[in-house]
A = this chain, B = another copy of it.
Amino acid sequence: EFAKIDHHRHRRNGFPEVIWGEGKTPEQIIKIMQAMQRQNQELQQPLPVMATRIEESVFTQLQTAIPQLNYYSIAKIAALVPEYLMLQKSGLISIITAGTSDIPVAEEAAVTAELSGFQVKRLWDVGVAGIHRLLSNLQYVQEADVLIVVAGMEGALPSIVGGLAQCPVIAVPTSIGYGASFNGLSALLTMLNSCASGIGVMNIDNGFGAAILAGKILKTANKINHKQK
């Protein structure tokens, strides 16, 4: 028994366990997916079954065993989506990238958020070297309920966004860059040291975690909402 699936994570944390695909064999992923699917069917839970970091070639193998599996190729996510995805009551998650190369990480966040039932808006390639690109899209910053800002290299974009936004900002450093970017370390340190207060930082390339945190923030909002009525 190589895996102890955490079948109650959905109850405890508000989102089912998600399979981290890297370093697992296709066979292992198939077995875990099928066990989670079975559990969802038994309990009649309309929950997605999701795996991240799935290369195209791995997906092809998974699909043979689980034909109804979807693939989000830029996000590298494979997912079994229930017929009626449990829709979340409210809240808009806006996702912004500094460059074109940061899009895969941002898409990991976007697909995770959408599979969690949230509304998502995308704004790509508005990094600080041409700050007018962000300033002419300020409505993305202003109408969001949570912002996810994804950036590699020097990772300065979350600081600018954080200085302009009312809502919480989640910063995701990416491993995009070369030389002294040290595979994302430079962007990570930038975000941790942001002089714009109140930015929550994720691990390098962790688009998935950013979406989960964004979802928790919106659910807390809805919970408070209920209590007040």
Q: Identify which of B90, B154, B164 contacts A159 (C-beta below 8 A).
A: B154
A12 with B166: in contact, given A180-B189, A189-B189, A201-B201 (CB under 8 Å)?
Answer: yes
Could you say which of A39-47, A63-71, A76-84, A169-177 contacts chain B? Answer: A169-177
Q: Identify which of B153, B197, B199 contacts A193 (C-beta below 8 A).
A: B153
A222 to B166, CA, bound (A): 12
Are B224's CB and A218's CB within 8 A? yes
Residues of B within 8 A of A163 (CB): 12-13, 128-131
15 contacts between A and B (CB under 8 A): A13-B166, A24-B100, A89-B228, A145-B223, A154-B159, A154-B193, A154-B194, A169-B216, A177-B193, A186-B186, A186-B189, A192-B201, A193-B203, A197-B208, A198-B213
